[in-house]
Amino acid sequence: MIMNILVTGANGQLGNEMRIVTKGAKDKYIFTDICDEHPESIEMLHKLDGDDIDTSTTKLDITNLDAIRKMVKVNDVKVVVNCAAWTNVDGAEDPEKYDLVELLNAKAPENLAIAMKEVGGLLVHISTDYVFGGDPYNTPCKEDQKGTPTGVYGLTKLHGEQNIQNTGVDHLIFRTAWLYSEFGKNFVKTMLKLTATKPQLKVVFDQVGTPTYAYDLAKAIFEIIEQRKYERKTGIYHYSNEGVCSWFDFTKMIAEYSGQIACDIQPCHSDEFPSPVKRPFFSVLDKTKVKDAYGIKIPYWTFSLKKCVINIK
């Protein structure tokens, strides 16, 4: 049976990759966001995937439950893929922004869960490795490890997960990490600019994790939905690319793949870059569960990074 699938936050990094991976899908995807698509993203979508890629955006504010219910009813939606969130980790620490961050990262996912529960549908939601970090650890985090966020972003994302679970809706929550893509603002694009313009650069080496190419995560989500693999397997899953690196190693590979090797990149400690939020020093996700449940193959981080850097360049 063909399903109608709603993608929220479709004009962000993951949302735009969902546009690419769902091209030619048997199901019907409806791309929604609170804002219009950015002209530079439309240009990139055409560059990467030709003129027939769907760049249209239907307006939907996921903080508005009535609007979600209406959209679900009018379009007979059976699955929602929620790519919308407050993603500015430092900005979330502004006390004046707390209510807004909680609304978007915790209440809005609950709205989507309520709407899907009412029609017996599935909510696919994205969370983060920043739900961990408060307790020191040096082994990859499993799905059932207790959440110990160190900042407002991680805390509100944890509340979002809990709110979804409490509705009893069928759900897949993918916790991911260090997301980058050809779209919007991200670490790869920032470092591409800096390594091209600065003779020297210091990057922290005492925070390690795993970069995730948003395209790979979008593809995994798409395959699970397309093959209806999620039936009877709802729950929380970890997904990042394979491998482990520091932000310093990540930057070195960005420079190498872009050919910008004139910049002298040196490792430094986190305390040289004071930040409003304490980030986890070891933030590696264990992906055994998602691989066992869905039989998906996850690309190694350098392999995917190279592809993305080539696309951007």
Ligand X SMILES: NC(=O)c1ccc[n+]([C@@H]2O[C@H](COP(=O)([O-])OP(=O)(O)OC[C@H]3O[C@@H](n4cnc5c(N)ncnc54)[C@H](OP(=O)(O)O)[C@@H]3O)[C@@H](O)[C@H]2O)c1
Active site positions, annotated:
153
Q: Is 268 in the site for ligand X (CB under 6 A)?
A: no
If binding is defined by CB under 6 A, does position 184 make contact with ligand X? yes
The stretch near ligand X (CB under 6 A) out of 18-26, 79-87, 113-121, 230-238 is 79-87
Q: Which two tokens stand for residue 11?
A: 């004009």
Interface of this chain with ligand X, residues 101 to 120, rule: CB under 6 A: 104
Toward ligand X, which CB reaches closer, 9 or 280? Answer: 9
Question: Whole-number minimum distance, CB 35 to ligand X, in Å?
Answer: 4
In the complex, the smallest distance separating the C-beta of residue 82 from ligand X, rounded to whole angstroms, is 7
Q: How far is the CB of 247 from ligand X (least distance, A)?
A: 12
Extract long-range pairs of 267-273: CB within 8 Å, 24+ residues apart.
Answer: 267/202, 267/203, 267/204, 267/205, 268/202, 268/203, 268/204, 268/205, 269/204, 269/205, 269/206, 270/204, 270/206, 270/207, 272/202, 272/204, 273/204
Phi, psi of 176 (to 5 degrees): -125, 180
Applying CB under 6 A, the span of 23-31, 175-183, 222-230, 267-275 interacting with ligand X comes to 175-183
Residue of minimal Cβ distance to ligand X: 12
Find tokens 């979008």 and name the residue.
Answer: 218
Under rule CB under 6 A, residue 206 binds ligand X: no
Closest CA to 176 of 137, 135, 132: 132
* Residue 291 CB burial class (10 angstroms; 0-12, 13-18, ≥19): middle
CB of 64 to ligand X, least distance (A): 8
Q: Is 163 in the site for ligand X (CB under 6 A)?
A: no
Of 85, 188, 203, 254, the one binding ligand X (CB under 6 A) is: 85
Does 178 bind ligand X (CB under 6 A)? Our answer is: yes
* Distance between CA atoms of residues 303 and 300, nearest Å: 6
Only segment of 65-73, 176-184, 191-199, 253-261 that touches ligand X (CB under 6 A) = 176-184
Rounded distance between C-alpha atoms, residue 3 and residue 12, angstroms: 23
4 forms beta bridges with 28, 77
CB atoms inside a 10 Å sphere around CB 120 = 9
* Cβ-based nearer residue to ligand X, 35 or 261: 35
108-119 helix and 152-167 helix, angle to the nearest 10 degrees: 20
In the list 55, 57, 128, 304, the residue contacting ligand X (rule: CB under 6 A) is: 128
Q: To the nearest whole angstrom, how small is the minimum distance from the Cβ of residue 204 to ligand X?
A: 15
State the residues that interact with ligand X by CB under 6 A: 8-9, 11-14, 33-35, 60-63, 83-85, 87, 104, 126, 128, 157, 176-179, 184, 214
